[in-house]
A and B are shown apart, each in its own frame.
Chain A
Amino acid sequence: MSAVIQSAPPRRERSFAIGWADAGPFIALAALLVIGFLINPDFLSATNLSNVITRSAFIAIIAVGATFVISSGGLDLSVGSMAAFITGVTIMFMNGMVPHLGTWSVPAGMAVALFAGIACGLLNGLIVTVGKIEPFIATLGTMGIFRALITYLSDGGTIPIDRSLRDVYRPVYFGTVTGIPIPIMISLAVAAIGSFILYKTKYGRKCAAVGANADVARYSGISIIKTRTIAYLIQGACVAIAAICYVPRLGAATPTTGVLWELQVITAVVIGGTALRGGKGHIWGTVAGGVILELIANLMVLSDFVSEYLVAAVQGVIIIIAMLIQRFSK
């Protein structure tokens, strides 16, 4: 009980004034932008930044969900495979509905994607909570299941979207509203809703309490099963939203779609300031973390002094430095 009381007030303060702890990832982001500009002035060109931030939308959206899961003391390794699976199911549904619904099969497909995402999230959640299996193992299992399902659905090849839908659906990734690419708008909206739920609702407080200390939370009358299962549901919905934005980019699902996204997602969450062991989550930090990851990859290509063989090593070093900047800015 005491832990909950102690951990609740600071969260309330933070929702009114942004403290230093939350600024960490943004300081790292700003530093990266300056370094990038010094290396290659093209880095800050509107086209490049808009490309990169748009690309980071998938990871950012999924990572908002992961912030809930990790904050509540869980982990989800299945998000990359789940994204691929939902993408495949969505495209197949849309293609199948073309003769009946025409271009209306796009919104119908989006609804199916959301439904599939929530179902997948529920599956993960129930295995972890009711089945009482370690999240790492449970979601490692479903990761294999989702990956195998997309491979099966595509016969190992590609599931392309119907040509008649491509042009209708294309703007969801490539379109802009008042000059801002739609995926960026969507990820901002997801993050805004996510931060509202995490910081302003009773559920958000339960989530952090369960992550900080599950036993104490249980003694204070919080249902751990319910709280964690809902976190996985939110994760599934976020993966579905990311998949909805992803489909129009290349217009196809393949067995290699979303490979290793889970690691990028977890990295984004941790760079964003959320501890892997659970506790309070930092939604906007997570979004900044997603952008940082994509910017680093972009910078590797735009700079000339890294051999193509060493790119991954330099990325690793930059991620660690970004974490150190955060640690010392606290």
Chain B
Amino acid sequence: MTRNKWIAAAALGALLVAGEASAADKKVVAVSIPAADHGWTAGVVYHAQAAAKEINAAFPDVEVIVKTSPSATAQVSALEDLSAGRKLDALVILPQTSEELTMPVKAVKDSGAFITVVDRGLNDPAIQDLYVAGDNIAVGKNTAKFLVDKLGGKGNLVVLRGIPTVIDDERIKGFQDGIAGTDLKILDIQYANWNSDDAFKLMQDYLAKYPQIDAVWANDDDMLLGVLEAVKESGRTDIKFALGGNGMKDIVKKVIDGDAMTPVETPYPPSMIKTAIYMTVANLVGHAPVRGNVKLDAPLITKDNAAEFYFPDSPF
């Protein structure tokens, strides 16, 4: 009886070793991202999973594993779990926070993995081999440029900003730089927490307060949805443009359809995670060196190029 058990255990052990050996032949790319808790992160999850599926199908000797984490603490644990079982050849990470993730990512780096950091930088940039991010300043600046052109450098604007963070500050700064020196005037700027409901209320209040508004800029598309509803309900005709930012599919669709009030959009695309995963894999399988900083531009999405930024199946 006891002997049989030992044989079974030995057989099982051999199987495990064999399994590990075949897995070790594959190059493992771990992708650690925040869990989907709002539109943009939902987009990140969608694009990361799409990239994993495409790459796993295209390269039999590469395995991309996507792991989502709802908080910084959970992401630290996820990194430990991912690197505990086997050796990682590369890690693509969109950190929940810079502070808490810096040391854990460094530990993965020390084990010999190639590190790609996306969107939010770590406290020590020396850890990363590749950094991929969008351009928040350009999100504000390109929107501002469009308004300056279309309004002839003159008019009254109201702005809705998100939550006090670097991302929000940079977008607002880019916008303010963009209209500097023109006669475009920001009548008001308030926080609406990147939330449609708060934006709806704030826009109603702006409309009550200012009899003449030429254009509205909500620095995120969730807020733009609330703004559009408030403008529609008020029946006001003075508002010529209501613009957003981020690249939500509903808004890109408006651009494709030639909407008069929202004819353009600026991307801060969640698909940047996909770009980062592809580049990382290129480094592993294609002998294509990719070390460095990649800043994805935020070109104005117009009717002509909107198809490139339109993902109808994405939740965002």
Whether A257 and B41, one on each chain, are in contact in the complex, defined by CB atoms closer than 8 angstroms, is no
**Cα distance, A301 to B39, chains bound together (Å):** 27
**Cα distance, A289 to B40, chains bound together (Å):** 34
Residues of A within 8 A of B209 (CB): 40, 42, 301-302
**Cα distance, A324 to B238, chains bound together (Å):** 43
Residues of A within 8 A of B190 (CB): 301, 308, 311
Question: Shortest CB–CB separation between residue B165 and chain A, in angstroms?
Answer: 13
Contact bitstring B29-60, A, C-beta under 8 A = 1, else 0: 00000011111011101100000000000000
Contact bitstring A244-272, B, C-beta under 8 A = 1, else 0: 00000111101111010000000000000
Within 8 A of A (CB), among B89-144: none
Cβ of A154 within 8 Å of any chain B Cβ, yes or no, is yes
**Cα distance, A52 to B208, chains bound together (Å):** 10
Closest to A298 in B: B205
Within 8 A of A (CB), among B189-224: 189-191, 194-197, 200-202, 204-206, 208-209, 222
Cβ of B267 within 8 Å of any chain A Cβ, yes or no, is no
Residues of B within 8 A of A254 (CB): 38-39, 196, 222
Question: Shortest CB–CB separation between residue B220 and chain A, in angstroms?
Answer: 11
Residues of A within 8 A of B205 (CB): 48, 51, 298, 301-302
Residues of A within 8 A of B222 (CB): 254, 256
Within 8 A of B (CB), among A157-177: 157-158, 160, 174
Cβ of A151 within 8 Å of any chain B Cβ, yes or no, is yes
Residues of B within 8 A of A48 (CB): 205, 208
Cβ of A156 within 8 Å of any chain B Cβ, yes or no, is yes
Whether A174 and B233, one on each chain, are in contact in the complex, defined by CB atoms closer than 8 angstroms, is yes
**Cα distance, A47 to B250, chains bound together (Å):** 29
Contact partner of B191 among A55, A259, A311, CB < 8 A? Answer: A311
Contact (A157, B197) CB under 8 Å given A45-B208, A55-B204, A308-B191: no
Most buried by B among A42, A155, A297: A155
Closest to A155 in B: B315
Whether B225 and A252, one on each chain, are in contact in the complex, defined by CB atoms closer than 8 angstroms, is yes
Whether A301 and B315, one on each chain, are in contact in the complex, defined by CB atoms closer than 8 angstroms, is no
Contact (A42, B191) CB under 8 Å given A156-B37, A250-B229: no
Cβ of A305 within 8 Å of any chain B Cβ, yes or no, is no
Residues of A within 8 A of B206 (CB): 301
Residues of B within 8 A of A47 (CB): 208, 234
Contact bitstring A189-226, B, C-beta under 8 A = 1, else 0: 00000000000000000000000000000000000000
Residues of A within 8 A of B208 (CB): 42, 45, 47-48, 51, 298, 302
**Cα distance, A259 to B250, chains bound together (Å):** 22
**Cα distance, A325 to B314, chains bound together (Å):** 51
Closest to B225 in A: A250
Whether B42 and A156, one on each chain, are in contact in the complex, defined by CB atoms closer than 8 angstroms, is yes
Most buried by A among B43, B194, B209: B209
Tally of chain A residues near chain B (CB < 8 A): 33
Contact (A151, B36) CB under 8 Å given A40-B209, A42-B209, A252-B225: yes
Contact bitstring A274-294, B, C-beta under 8 A = 1, else 0: 000000000000000000001
Residues of A within 8 A of B195 (CB): 256, 259
Closest to B196 in A: A250
**Cα distance, A264 to B206, chains bound together (Å):** 22
Cβ of A309 within 8 Å of any chain B Cβ, yes or no, is yes
Cβ of B164 within 8 Å of any chain A Cβ, yes or no, is yes
**Cα distance, A156 to B195, chains bound together (Å):** 14
Contact (A157, B43) CB under 8 Å given A45-B208, A250-B200, A302-B209: yes
**Cα distance, A301 to B315, chains bound together (Å):** 32
Cβ of B61 within 8 Å of any chain A Cβ, yes or no, is no
Question: Shortest CB–CB separation between residue B131 and chain A, in angstroms?
Answer: 25
Residues of A within 8 A of B174 (CB): none
Cβ of B226 within 8 Å of any chain A Cβ, yes or no, is yes
Whether A158 and B191, one on each chain, are in contact in the complex, defined by CB atoms closer than 8 angstroms, is no
Residues of B within 8 A of A252 (CB): 196, 225
Residues of B within 8 A of A256 (CB): 38, 194-196, 222
Whether A51 and B204, one on each chain, are in contact in the complex, defined by CB atoms closer than 8 angstroms, is yes
Cβ of B316 within 8 Å of any chain A Cβ, yes or no, is yes
8 A–B pairs (Cβ distance < 8 Å), ordered by A: A45-B208, A155-B46, A249-B200, A250-B196, A254-B222, A256-B195, A301-B202, A302-B205
3 closest A-B pairs by beta carbon, nearest first, are A156-B36, A157-B315, A156-B42
- Which residues of B are at the interface with A, using a C-beta cutoff of 8 A? 35-39, 41-43, 45-46, 161, 164, 188-191, 194-197, 200-202, 204-206, 208-209, 222, 225-226, 229, 233-234, 250, 314-316
Q: A154-B42, A301-B190, A301-B206 are in contact. List 20 more A-B contacts (CB 8 A).
A: A51-B205, A52-B204, A151-B36, A151-B37, A155-B36, A155-B45, A156-B35, A156-B37, A156-B42, A156-B45, A157-B36, A157-B42, A157-B43, A157-B314, A157-B315, A250-B197, A255-B36, A308-B189, A308-B190, A309-B164
